[in-house]
Amino acid sequence: MKKILFVLVMASMLLAACGGSGQVSSNEKVTLRFWTHTNNAFNAGYDALITAYQTEHPNVTITRESFEYDLYLQTLQTAMPAGEEADIIQLFGTWTSQYFERLAPVPAEVMSVEKAKELFYAAPVGGFIVNGALYGFPQEFNCEYGGVLVNKTMFLAAGVTYPPQWKTMDDVVADGRKLVQKDASGMMSVAGFHFTSADPIAFSFLAGIKQRGGDYWNTDHTGFTFNTPQAKAQLEWMVNAVQSGIIDPMIFNDATNPVIDAFFTNKAAIGYIGAWAIAEGKTNFPDFTDEWDYIYLPPIQGKPVFVADSGWGLTVSPNSKNQNVAWDFIKFATTDPKNALSWNLASGTIPAMPEVAKSAEIAAQEPWVAKALDILPDGEYLGNMPDRDLVMYEIIYPRILEAMQGVSSVNDALATIDTEANSTFK
Amino acid sequence: MNLRRKKEKRSKGGLTIAKRRFVLGITIPLLLYESLGIFVIGWAFVLMFYKYSSGRLGGPILGLGGTNPFVGIDNFIEMFSGKSVEANLFRVSLKNTLIFALAVLPLNLMITLPLAYLLESIGERFKAFYRTIYFLPVLTSSVGVALIWLSMYDPQAGWINAIIRLFGGTPVSWLSDPRAGFAGVSVAMWAVILAYLWQDYGYNMVIFIAALQCVPQELKDTAMIDGANRWQTFTKITVPLIRPTMLFVCVMTMLSSFQVFDIIQVMTNGDPGNQTQVLMLDIYKNAFRYQQLGWAAAESFILFLLVMGVTIFQMRLLRTEWEY
Amino acid sequence: MATRAVSNSSLNPVRKIHQSPFFESRLFFYLALTIGLVFTLLPFLMMIISSLKTNTEVLRVPPTFLPKNPTFSNYITIFNDPKLPLLRFYANSAFVAVFNVTATLFTSALIGYMFAKYQFPGKRILFGWFLTLMMIPSHITMIPSYLILAKLGLINSLWGLVIFSAVDAFGIFMLRQFCETLPNELLDAARIDGASEWQIFIRIVLPQLSAPLATLGILGFMGNWNAYLWPMIVLQKVEVRTLPIILTWYNSTHTGQGALVMAATVLITLPILLVLVYFQRWIVKGFVTTGLK
């Protein structure tokens, strides 16, 4: 009996020694929880990666759970203080600066900050870097700027040149005017150029400021500067475009007839929205039969400089008991070009890695990415804000919408945006 | 234990022992449960003096202190005189809540009391049927109500605008046009008020019906015989008799409209441009979307004062009514 | 009515004229009530009709009234949707409603009875505390309650949802009033017969309270079934959610698909509506018997 015991003890010690600390190939069973937000295409991509990883590492089980966007933030806020969050958390890069206290920094042996900056485009990785430390790996280039859905059938029916040969934004507006349709009571039934949802308004505004040579940050990124001549010029351009009749912001905005819904139900001829909308539109509106395409707008002026959020990526909780395994999975999913490619193809997103973005498969299956390759390097990271959602969706978008709707003047809107955005820095 | 011994125990003044045991058996668990409630309320009152966000780690006790600092009455000062985006939103929400409550009350009474009277006055045959139908919206979930009305208000495909077009009018973007207004109140707010009234009038109607049933028929008959017409009977006899009920209904309606949330959140979520943002919605957004729990707690307190004010007012009035 | 006609005609022949305006005014009443009825039913009608259209037809401008090709395809989609196990959500809502109603009815009756029929020191203070509680609106405790549940790990748990609502001050108040009308002799007689306090409560008092209990029960059931804010805060995982939140969730994940959402609304609101309609007469009776004080 004692001999058997002795053998068992020696065997287990040997096994433990072989297992080593934190080697993923150890035989102990590991279960990881993985949280994502609800996006069917994204999650299909994740599930494929999980299956692949689990095949390679049979001792690891990863269970994924998703929450819809609006409640995702709330879920994180509840779970994190209670230490209940998942091991792997899909996080929107720009949010990292709000949550970094509750996230685990990427260990140096997994990847250094410099290497990450080389591996990914500037905008996607920018958000995950807080105070010089890296907190996660991006998976997509969340480009809300510059791309529009165009309805070929409507263009041809209205006799407008197709494919569009836009040299300036004014050309776009001119085409938009020709594509507007109204019903018998004078209410707009088809918008010519729908750009009055929250993301298009915010991002075209910020890009416009930068393209005109200005900036919306102060020098050390401790405050905003929205009350500038460039901002005013951009806002005036946008308001004039609306008032020229290409869109009725009363019935086309983020709450009523948002861009995806409007475009895929034949209520908008040109729809300004990020490329991620394509997958969603095709899934939600299978009845849409018009011919369409996704093309990029010319800059308002100069080079097509623009800003972008740091898009969705993966992070690890410091409360996780298997952080090394978690990082191993994340590295597998996001930095291996083959795997990153499979996820981007499934989700319909623009890759965060230049190597993947330039690949032949992307060019074949996501042709709009190939068109974006020219401008992607010009994308700068939006910047770490105290509360990105508040500034973009509750300050910039509503005030600009009000200016477009004629409720407030351009100057008032700008002044209010400046005051309110800066008040988030308290 | 045989029955006789039990009886003796009781009749010897031991009656109180069994009673005492019973009372203790109830009050002790009750007090324990209520202490949880007291703790919760206490925490609510403490939270409003802090700048507390659940995204930050904060201090050791309940996360208070540290990166969630104590700010005293700063929250309140900011709410009423500050210029930040939250302070503006708070004041707008407060204003909207008051507008909503003050609009709903008279409109509700103008609908429910006459309808209840009409219902009371028709024959028995259809009374229950009408009453049931009128009560249907009350039984419907607010989310359902909001979604249905959202669909009806759609500017292009909704029935309301379709009916307007039928009569040759110009359709309105009910829930998304910030410029349109009527009597100084935005169109979106009226739209929401209408949906809320639709859901709610059945409730007060039923209360009024019950109250009207309690008015003795003989009084009304006597009045009729004495030559009064319907209107005079109603105003001189019926109304004074149902005054306590009317008071009750007024207060209850006001209290619910101060705390309205469900229907507005689903219909407009405060849009367009915060024209339909009410206090409860602002509290919710601040607490659960922007993680500003201290601020949200402070706003809750203001709403609490409003509600308490009306409740105390009601109790004073009702007490005098009873004496009277 | 016959008496009135007789007394009118016998006392004063001029009164006869008033009979016809009475009939006309009756007609007018019916007309007004029916207009109100139509207005009340119109949105429900729209909901049902829209649910039978296709998504594209619902967006048609100008809108059609009746569906061109009425179809149940939306309902089929919902039934076949693996992410929408309706029965599961019905079960969740049922659990919450039944538990809360049972708990509050029981505690309200017990505590109300105790306040009505028993004297003990501190009774005034305790009752005053409950009165105060009644006046404190629930929203002020919403945030700390949520924080406590988070700390205890009871978020996403149906138990966490109901734990705070076992005692309802309003119910206690109402039942105390009712219990006060119970004759003491009845209770004393039972005591003499050897019943324990507990037995007195269960066997004698409770049956007497069936009317207010029914009213409170139905109102409570309706309130709990349709509750939105607190469940939305506490229940973040889809599987544990109750019906109203599922409806909002379904709406936000199916934007632009109006007919489908209307079908979901029908499936989520109508069944319980029919149930509550059957029981709503007790609400009315309850309002009458409590005298609305």
What CATH number is attached to the domain comprising B146?
A: 1.10.3720.10
CA B144 to CA A363: how far, in whole Å?
Answer: 45
pLDDT tens-digit series, residues B13-47:
445 777 888 888 888 888 888 888 888 888 888 88
pLDDT average, residue stretch B297-310:
90
Residues of A in contact with C254 (CB under 8 A): 284
pLDDT tens-digit series, residues A201-233:
999 999 999 999 999 999 988 899 999 999 999
CA angle A65, A66, A72 (to 5 degrees): 125
Question: Is the per-residue pLDDT at B119 higher than 80?
Answer: yes
Q: Which of C228, C233, C288 comes nearest B213 by C-beta?
A: C288
**Most confident region among A137-141, B129-133, C257-261 by mean pLDDT:** A137-141
Q: How close does chain B come to A397, measured CA to CA in Å? A: 10
Written as tens digits, the pLDDT of chain A (426 aa) is 455 444 444 444 444 443 334 444 556 899 999 999 988 788 889 999 999 999 999 999 999 988 877 778 777 877 787 777 899 999 999 889 888 888 999 999 999 999 999 999 999 999 999 989 999 999 999 888 989 999 999 999 999 998 999 999 999 999 999 999 998 788 898 999 999 999 999 999 999 999 999 999 999 888 999 999 999 999 999 999 999 999 999 889 988 889 998 999 899 999 999 888 887 788 778 888 899 999 999 999 888 899 999 999 999 999 999 999 999 999 999 999 999 999 999 888 899 999 999 999 988 888 878 888 888 888 899 988 888 888 998 899 999 999 999 889 999 999 999 988 998 886
pLDDT average, residue stretch B73-88:
85
Residue with tokens 């007090």: B31
Question: Is the per-residue pLDDT at B1 higher than 70?
Answer: no
DSSP A125-176: HHTTEETTEE-EEE-B----SSEEEEEHHHHHHTT--SS---SSHHHHHHHH
pLDDT at B86: 84
* Torsions phi, psi for B184 (to 5 deg): 75, 0
Domain membership flag for residue B18 = no
pLDDT at A377: 86
Q: How many contacts (CB atoms, under 8 Å) link B and C?
A: 238
Contact C166, C220 (CB under 8 A): no
Q: Which of A255, A390, A419 comes nearest B290 by C-beta?
A: A390
pLDDT at C22: 56
Q: Domains plus CATH for chain A?
A: 30-140+311-376 (3.40.190.10), 147-307+385-423 (3.40.190.10)
Interface predicted TM-score of the whole assembly (ipTM), two decimals: 0.83
Closest chain A residue by Cα to residue C251: A68
Q: How many CB atoms lie within 10 A of CB B295?
A: 28
Question: Is the per-residue pLDDT at C290 higher than 70?
Answer: no
* Torsions phi, psi for C138 (to 5 deg): -70, -20
pLDDT at A7: 46
pLDDT at C135: 67
CA B153 to CA B266: how far, in whole Å?
Answer: 13
Beta bridge partners of B244: none
pLDDT band, very low/low/confident/very high, at B279 (cuts 50, 70, 90): very high
In three-state secondary structure terms, B291 is: coil
Domain membership flag for residue B55 = no
Residues of B in contact with C50 (CB under 8 A): 151
Domain membership flag for residue B211 = yes
Domain membership flag for residue B213 = yes
Give the domain extent around B105.
83-318
* Torsions phi, psi for C120 (to 5 deg): -160, 155
A255 interface with C at CB cutoff 8 Å = no
pLDDT at C191: 82
pLDDT at C25: 73
pLDDT at B312: 82
First CA to last CA distance, chain C = 31
Domain membership flag for residue B57 = no
Domain membership flag for residue B177 = yes
For a pLDDT cut of 70, what percent of chain B falls above it?
89
CA A101 to CA A144: how far, in whole Å?
Answer: 28
Q: Which of C226, C258, C293 comes nearest B141 by C-beta?
A: C226
Q: In chain B, how many domains are there? A: 1
Domain membership flag for residue B42 = no
Q: Which position has the higher pLDDT, C133 or C190? A: C190
Domain membership flag for residue B207 = yes
Do residue C61 and residue B221 have CB atoms under 8 angstroms apart? no
